[in-house]
Amino acid sequence: MKAKFICPLIVVRDMEVSRRFFEKMLGQEVEYDFGGNISFRGGFAIHRMSHFASLTGNSDIIFNSNNAELYFESTELVELRDELVRSGIHFIHDIVDQPWKQQVMRFYDPDGHIIEVGEPLNYTARRLSAEGLSEDQISLTMGVPPESVSVWLSNEAPDNSG
């Protein structure tokens, strides 16, 4: 093994503002708080800009670059969207259907990083089934194996939502 991937890390201007955003708005739990660097149980970390720059020797940090996003899932998209709207978050777009029919929304965190929140794929499959699509039609629409759809539509499908 050459290197094991651990997690993405994003640089933030204000740790408290960003921490509050990820904890309060997206329900993330802090796993480790090292002061200038916080790791969340969801598998990503935030790092205070000044500390990160001192470690790398490079203070040329660019925000709002629109070149990456952090992806989350929620079964409560409408409620989360409404809470984000009330908090003044800047949206890229409201809840929309992706080509594979998963409902998602995208917005910026306090530092201009793109955040995407989508419904879990098992919820997409269940929604499409409730709309009258057969398992084969759902498989074709979503571009996933029929076996996955069958599991998602069964009562045994894990609830992988946040």
Q: How far apart are CA 95 and CA 47, in angstroms?
A: 29
Structure tokens at 51: 């500390």
Write down the pTM of the prediction: 0.90
> pLDDT tens, 92-149?
999 999 999 999 999 999 999 999 999 999 999 999 999 999 999 999 999 999 999 9
- The residue among 36, 33, 37, 45 whose CA lies nearest residue 6 is 45
Query: What are the residues whose beta carbons fall under 8 Å from the beta carbon of 91, sequence distance 6 or more?
Result: 84, 85, 105, 106, 107, 108
